[in-house]
Structure 1
């Protein structure tokens, strides 16, 4: 991604990386790493380097559809759709005609936006029939369990989290068990183990492949299926199974077809969890040998799976749940039962009485889970929220710990520098403007030097803002327009349009206009003396209440946009 956005910076980072590899590993292995590196760069570049023809018919499959968002796949490449798309449904093949604009969103694998002028829905195929069956299955579960519990079953058993309410998702995040509502390697392992016990490994592999397709082919399920397949085939061809080789092959296969997954949080967490289990599970089991075998296995799996994934999650998600280990230990056995019963319901959905009997068991287990989750939410401490700098500090301290543990004592001086950065991060050398949403109230947070003020269209409290900064003053029920003077170079202008709050940076000196950035020019300098006005966009995306949606840092005549790291520089 850095190579595409900034070739010079990307080249420097690549040279440093390859140089460090060259001086630390065997030369033959180094040449192999270089080959993989070159192939991956070419593969990644070729994926995003595409221009679709305009005003020509294209056959696409709708991969994701909601009230405000629609995406499709064309030749295994993801594109955003807008325009005449209201009657399109997920899973269907569609002939579309319109205009294409290349706008890459690298972490989501989106190559651009296609404005649809007209479309023609194709006949149903296997994939669209599977999607229709999933919708019908949700309706069947809803009749017996109610919408809320049916949504949970669809998410836990089949990875369809679209039916789950945001409040439910927030509870899962607080408990650190968000992974249970997306089909993961755990789900695939449970399903395969049950199938193998009943029908043998050959047919179990076939049905597991079908289950992978039915649940949407997520990176975690593909990884789990490949590893299970290699494990079972290895013994049949008299080869020794190696976990590291298996997980590496799974990663290579997935990235060949979907190179953008290297930036996908789900992909990284899945592989880091497995890597932690492979490297540390046996060591932790030996350390906890005094515990009963069942508890030993549960503790060792939970702890080892989070050794690599937790630091990455802190950096990527900027949150950390203090009670995640306890929540996983208590709740995962119950969710395992839900996975088994939910898939039994899938198989027996055509048999009315048997299906209702399974739903009775599901309802009972879900009621127990609901009670336990309420108790845990009340007892466990609140989730910790990190700024971007703080998350990097946590990750840096973790790397220092690993370095010192391996005997590199020079790492012991690094934490002093990291803590120095953390202490002085509250002092903002450059002005920062952040968008925050608190219970559907728009909030603009402005920080400069040691001052921080929040402006909101509603009523909020200081502890509603999950940001690591002391708020000096909160302006509530804001309406109209106002200007905040920052320096002689620029001011911040706030405008309230109904319930939406917008911030603009008004420069007194002319800036360079950058393509695809909204730049509002003033035609009457005697009334508005600003040369340029840069509108700071508030992305329509979901984040936990009180956390930052977008952050903008003003440096000279440039505005840097942040959400998950640096996204763009607005000149």
Structure 2
């Protein structure tokens, strides 16, 4: 019997990270189907045993079990069903109140009649109802019957600094400008309008107003130039707490700490091991981070830069150095971000290169000015207000220019992301010497084309409480006819159905679909029929049938 050749593990932290992720996924799917999960996981563990030497395998299994134990401890707390609980309020919106009990996230149903403020600590009579939401990290609902005591402690004061800063901004700028400034500085997008978020998303620069490694690295570099490593790290840590200790901010803080510490200890810095260690720490601390968009996008973007940045630099060597660096950095970061965005949101902006190129310098200058205002006590003195107004003038000009030149961001089916990841894996493996993987690339393309192409015409009626839409697919084209001209409804249809175009019909219409059938729409979409050109075919009532396929 031929023995498996053992894999040499040069980065044990990478292996530990993989086993930690496997442990969390095992717990996640095991909570739905334990037997099915066992059939999938056990062969993987056996394969790892054959592939790895015994020391690395044992280390991997230990962290696999630690991850499962971490999930069990987090998601299965021993809360009393009724009694007095201490709750830290971490989010207050019109839709929900979110709190933490012993570090676990709960949804708070306020039945006390008392007003609840963000950041405060509440002692109250509660009833706990278990209800796990693995994706969001929720362990259940807490029905707050009566507030016994409330504390506005140091943590409350720290958490409300961004709120007070927003109030200062509102005194000097318009509501839309204040919302954008607050988002740039604190990552707080609550006050941004739907149109602002959608526009920034279409431009591909929404990540610049989310707290990320970009913000932490910039703050660290500003302070580190003037002060010591300890002072810079301390201020960055406080800033991370102020912005809610998001996974992307924590990841950046961990990597900066490891980078500077390794240089001080005269050791080489390995970014892949660093990012793996950061992921392991965050996943064991909060297992639900694995399903957080912030975590996935932050680590996915950083991993892409680590793996592909240098290769792209070499590939674009003919370009001017600065342009080469920018293009290589942007494309490498998007390598893993693309499939995540398509699967999660059905959307990926193809405008990110030009938009990021023009907007990033503005955001950098703006962020530095805002950080300086924080360091001098959060005061928006005249000079700062004047500088921000000048920057906003330039920013508006850039947005007007981009609005005219950028492409409309299409909504994409998850099929594109799956095909991309499959082709990406096969191309990567073939470049590493596994030549047979090239065959897979040629197989994916026809499968993708067949999945997207519709012979003849496929018609479906899609509706909600107030609106109706007819989705028509033919060839590679997918169009929706709607009875409501609101942007929200049209974008909702584009997102759900991945259509290329949305057409609003004001009045009754009839037009040809194929040589055999035409479609008739009457009474504000309450009567939709497929009319045959030949009497041998039946009339199809789409309101009753909901869908039809014709050649």
TM-score normalised by structure 2 residue count: 0.78
**Does the C-alpha gap of structure 1 residues 453 and 248 become closer, same or farther in structure 2, counting only changes over 3 Å?**
closer
2:279 to 247, 251, 267: 251
- Distance in 2 (CA, whole Å) between partners of 1:445 and 1:204 is 57
Identify the residue that residue 79 of structure 2 maps to in structure 1. Answer: 52
Q: How far does residue 425 in structure 1 lie from its aligned partner after superposition?
A: 6.3
After TM superposition, the structure 1 = structure 2 runs for residues 70-81 of structure 1, keeping only pairs within 5 Å, are 70-81=97-108
CA contact (8 A) 1:185 1:224 kept: yes
The correspondence of residues 353-372 of structure 1 with structure 2, limited to 5 A, is 355-372=381-398
Match of 1:389 in 2: 415
Flag the 1:154–1:31 CA change in 2: closer, same or farther, 3 A. same
The Cα RMSD (Å) is 3.8
Between the aligned partners of 1:186 and 1:218, the Cα distance in structure 2 is 13
CA contact (8 A) 1:344 1:358 kept: no
Asked if 1:61 corresponds to 2:91, the answer is no
RCO comparison, higher one (Cα < 8 Å, 6+): 2
Q: State the match for 1:561 in structure 2.
A: none
Residue 233 of structure 2 corresponds to: 205
Deviation at 1:29, TM superposition (A): 2.1
- Contact 1:144-1:356 at 8 Å conserved across structures: no
Distance change >3 Å, CA 126–CA 441, structure 1 → 2: farther
Summarize deviations over 1:102-144 as a string: whole Å, max 9, x none: 2222111111122222234512112211233221110111111
SS of match in other structure, 1:104: strand
Written as runs of structure 1 = structure 2, the 5 A alignment for 1:225-236 is 225-236=253-264
Match of 1:166 in 2: 194
Q: Distance in 2 between matches of 1:161 and 1:53?
A: 35
Among 206, 210, 214, the residue aligned to 1:178: 206
**How many aligned residue pairs are there?**
484
Answer yes or no: is 1:468 the counterpart of 2:498.
yes
Instruction: Kindly state the Cα deviation for residue 169 of structure 1 after the two structures are TM-superposed.
Output: 0.6
Change (3 A) 1:410 1:244: same
1:453-486 CA distance string (max 9 Å, x none): 989773479975312359987979879999xxxx
Distance 1:460 1:129, change over 3 A: closer
Equivalence for 1:543:
none
SS of residue in 1 equivalent to 2:308 = helix
Q: Deviations for 1:206-254, whole angstroms, at most 9, x for unmatched residues? A: 1111111111111111111111112222222333222122211111111
Per the TM alignment, residue 260 of structure 1 is displaced from its structure 2 partner at its CA by: 0.6
Structure-2 residue corresponding to 1:550: none
2:364 equivalent to 1:336: yes
Instruction: Select 2:289's aligned residue among 244, 261, 280.
Output: 261
Q: Secondary structure, in 3 states, of the residue corresponding to 1:385?
A: coil
Gap regions ≥5 residues in structure 1: 483-491, 495-504, 506-571
Q: Give 1:384 shift.
A: 2.3
C-alpha contact (below 8 Å) 2:114/2:147 kept by paired residues = no
Indicate the SS of the match to 1:102: strand
Aligned-pair CA distance for 1:70: 1.4
CA distance in 2, matches of 1:68, 1:478: 33
- Tell whether the 8 Å contact from 1:184 to 1:220 is kept in structure 2 after alignment: yes
Deviations 1:520-539 (CA, angstroms, capped at 9, x unpaired): xxxxxxxxxxxxxxxxxxxx
Which one is further off, 165-174 or 229-238? 229-238
Write the distance in 2 (CA, Å) between the matches of 1:449 and 1:88: 53
Residue 316 of structure 2 corresponds to which residue in structure 1?
A: 288
Q: What secondary structure, in the 3-state scheme, does the structure 2 residue paired with 1:384 have?
A: coil
Tell me how far apart the structure 2 counterparts of residues 160 and 135 of structure 1 sit (CA, whole Å): 9
1:408 aligns with 2:434: yes
Give the Cα–Cα distance (whole angstroms) in 2 for the partners of residues 378 and 294 of structure 1.
Answer: 26
Work out the CA distance in 2 between the residues paired with 1:435 and 1:111.
Answer: 35
Q: For the residues of structure 2 that align with 1:255 and 1:314, how far apart are their CA atoms?
A: 23
Deviation for aligned residue 1:418? 4.1
- State how 1:114-193 maps to structure 2 within 5 Å: 114-120=142-148, 122-193=150-221
Q: Which residue of 2 aligns with 1:305?
A: 333
> Which of 134, 138, 145 is the equivalent residue of 1:106?
134
Q: Which residue of 1 aligns with 2:39?
A: 12
TM-superposed CA distance for 1:313, in Å, is: 2.4
Decide whether the 8 Å contact of 2:339 with 2:418 is kept in 1.
Answer: no
The structure number with the bigger radius of gyration is 2
SS of corresponding position for 1:71: strand
CA distance in 2, matches of 1:115, 1:479: 44
CA distance in 1, matches of 2:527, 2:123: 46
Shift of the 97–388 alpha-carbon distance from structure 1 to 2, 3 Å rule, reads: farther
- Is the CA contact (8 Å cut-off) linking 1:247 and 1:271 kept in structure 2? yes
CA contact (8 A) 1:441 1:456 kept: no
Give, in whole Å, the separation in 2 of the partners of 1:112 and 1:481.
Answer: 45
Q: How does 1:340-351 map to 2 (within 5 A)?
A: 340-349=368-377, 351=379
Is residue 37 of structure 2 the alignment partner of residue 34 of structure 1? no
Deviation at 1:309, TM superposition (A): 2.2
Shift of 1:172: 1.4
Q: Residue 131 of structure 2 aligns to a residue in which SS?
A: coil
Paired residues of 2:81 and 2:129 also in contact (CA < 8 A): no
Go from structure 1 to structure 2 and tell me whether the alpha carbon gap of 1:343 and 1:81 turns closer, same or farther (over 3 Å shift). same
- Provide TM-score, normalisation by structure 1: 0.75
Deviations 1:15-67 (A, max 9, x none): 24334434544443233222222211221233212353233111111111111
Q: How does 1:541-560 map to 2 (within 5 A)?
A: none
